[in-house]
C-alpha cells in the first residue's frame, strides 16, 4: 500500500485503457490516488547485512487523506528497545512535517528537515522515504515509456524546486501502465550523487486499490539491502481522525495496544 501514499507503503487506482497520457493527466491520476489514501498495514522492517545477517523490526502503519493532506502514523512495536512512533503529514502543496516520540516522553519532537535524510533504525529507509512526497514537487517530466521486466511503464522524473524540501536531487519512477503503481524507483542523493534503488514486489489489487507486498532498497555497488514487508492490511477502512493525534506519540505504556 502507498505511504508511506505511501509510505512508504504505496497504493494506486488502475489506469483506464492503454491510451498514452500526458504528464498533466498522469499527475491528476496520482493526485486522485493520494485523495483516496485510507489504510492500515502491519509488517516488518528488515536490515540485511553484507553477509546475510538480519535485524528485524515489527511495525504498524495507518494513513488517510484529510483536508488536503495525507497523515501517516507509523509505530515500531518490537523489539522493545527500538520502539518509536512517527506522525507524518504530507500536504498537497508545501513542505511536509515529521514528528516522533516514545511512550512516556514529556512531549513529541519535530524532526527538522536537516535530519530527514537520516536512516530509520540503521536501515536504508530514511525519514523522507516514509513521507514519500516526490510526486508533489513542482517539476515533473514524463520522459517516455519503457519496459521493466514484463511490465510496460511510464518513466517519470521528479525534481525538487523552490520550497520542495528534499535530500534528493531527483527521483525517477517506473510506473506500471496498468496500475500506475511503481515497480522501480531510483533516488539520487543531493549530497553525494549516489543513487538508491527501490524495487517493488508482489503487486496486488484489492477493492480497486493496488499495493505491493514488499519494497526493497539497495545501493548499487554496496552489499546488503533493506526490506519493508507487509504481512497483512486493509484499504478503505475509514481510519478515524483521532488516530493521528500528536498525543499518541507519547502515550504512556499502561493500557496501550501495539495495533491501535
Q: Tens digits of per-residue pLDDT, 204-224? A: 877 777 788 999 999 888 889
Residue 57 located in a structural domain = yes
Residue 150 located in a structural domain = no
Whether 12 contacts 2, CB under 8 Å: yes
Cα of 173 vs its chain's centroid, Å: 13
Cα of 92 vs its chain's centroid, Å: 15
Residue 255 located in a structural domain = no
Strand partners, 248: none
41-44-48-53 Cα dihedral, nearest 10 degrees: -170
Residue 237 located in a structural domain = yes
Residue 176 located in a structural domain = no
Q: What is the mean pLDDT of the chain?
A: 88
Strand partners, 216: 199, 227
Residue 123 located in a structural domain = yes
Distance CA 182, CA 207 (A): 18
Domain containing residue 97: CATH number: 2.50.20.10
Whether 151 contacts 176, CB under 8 Å: yes
Q: Which domain covers residue 67, as residue numbers?
A: 11-133+202-243
Residue 74 located in a structural domain = yes
pLDDT score of 3 more than 70: no
Distance CA 58, CA 36 (A): 26
Residues 6+ apart with CB under 8 A from 199: 183, 184, 215, 216, 217, 218
Whether 70 contacts 1, CB under 8 Å: no
Three cell numbers, residue 115? 535530519
- Which pLDDT value is given to residue 253? 67
Q: What is the pLDDT of residues 32-89, one digit of tens each?
A: 888 999 999 999 999 999 888 999 999 999 999 998 899 999 999 999 999 999 999 9
DSSP, res 112: -
What's the total number of domains in the chain? 1
HSE at residue 147, side-chain half, CA atoms within 13 A, is: 3
Question: What's the average model confidence in pLDDT over 103-122?
Answer: 95
- Look-up: residue for cell 513521507? 131
Residue 112 located in a structural domain = yes
pTM confidence score: 0.88
DSSP letters of 2-30?
-B---BS--EEPPPSSS----HHHHHHHH
Three cell numbers, residue 224? 546488503
| Residue 31, H or E segment | helix 23-35
Amino acid at each position: 500500500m502507498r505511504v508511506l501514499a505511501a509510505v512508504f507503503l504505496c497504493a494506486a487506482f488502475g489506469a483506464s485503457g492503454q491510451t498514452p497520457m500526458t504528464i498533466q493527466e498522469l499527475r491528476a491520476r496520482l493526485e486522485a490516488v493520494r485523495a483516496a489514501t485510507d489504510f492500515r498495514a502491519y509488517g516488518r522492517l528488515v536490515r540485511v547485512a553484507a553477509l546475510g545477517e538480519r535485524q528485524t523490526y515489527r511495525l504498524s502503519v495507518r494513513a488517510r487523506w484529510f483536508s488536503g493532506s495525507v497523515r501517516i502514523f507509523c509505530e515500531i512495536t518490537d523489539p522493545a528497545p527500538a520502539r518509536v512512533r512517527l506522525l507524518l503529514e504530507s500536504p498537497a502543496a508545501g513542505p511536509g512535517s515529521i514528528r516522533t516520540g516514545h511512550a512516556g516522553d514529556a512531549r513529541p519532537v519535530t524532526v527538522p528537515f536537516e535530519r530527514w535524510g537520516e536512516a530509520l533504525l540503521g536501515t536504508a529507509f530514511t525519514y523522507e522515504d516514509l513521507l514519500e512526497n516526490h510526486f508533489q514537487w513542482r517539476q515533473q517530466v514524463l520522459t517516455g515509456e519503457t519496459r521493466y521486466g514484463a511490465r510496460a511503464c511510464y518513466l517519470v522524473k521528479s525534481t525538487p524546486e523552490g520550497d520542495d524540501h528534499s535530500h534528493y536531487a531527483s527521483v525517477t519512477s517506473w510506473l506500471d501502465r496498468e496500475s500506475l503503481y511503481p515497480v522501480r524507483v531510483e533516488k539520487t542523493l543531493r549530497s553525494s550523487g549516489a543513487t538508491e534503488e527501490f524495487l517493488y514486489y508482489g503487486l496486488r489489487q484489492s477493492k480497486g486499490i493496488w499495493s505491493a507486498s514488499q519494497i526493497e532498497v539497495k545501493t548499487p555497488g554496496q552489499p546488503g539491502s533493506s526490506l519493508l514487508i507487509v504481512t497483512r492490511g486493509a484499504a478503505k477502512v475509514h481510519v478515524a481522525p483521532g488516530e493521528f493525534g500528536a498525543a499518541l506519540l507519547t502515550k504512556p505504556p499502561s493500557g496501550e495496544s501495539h495495533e491501535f
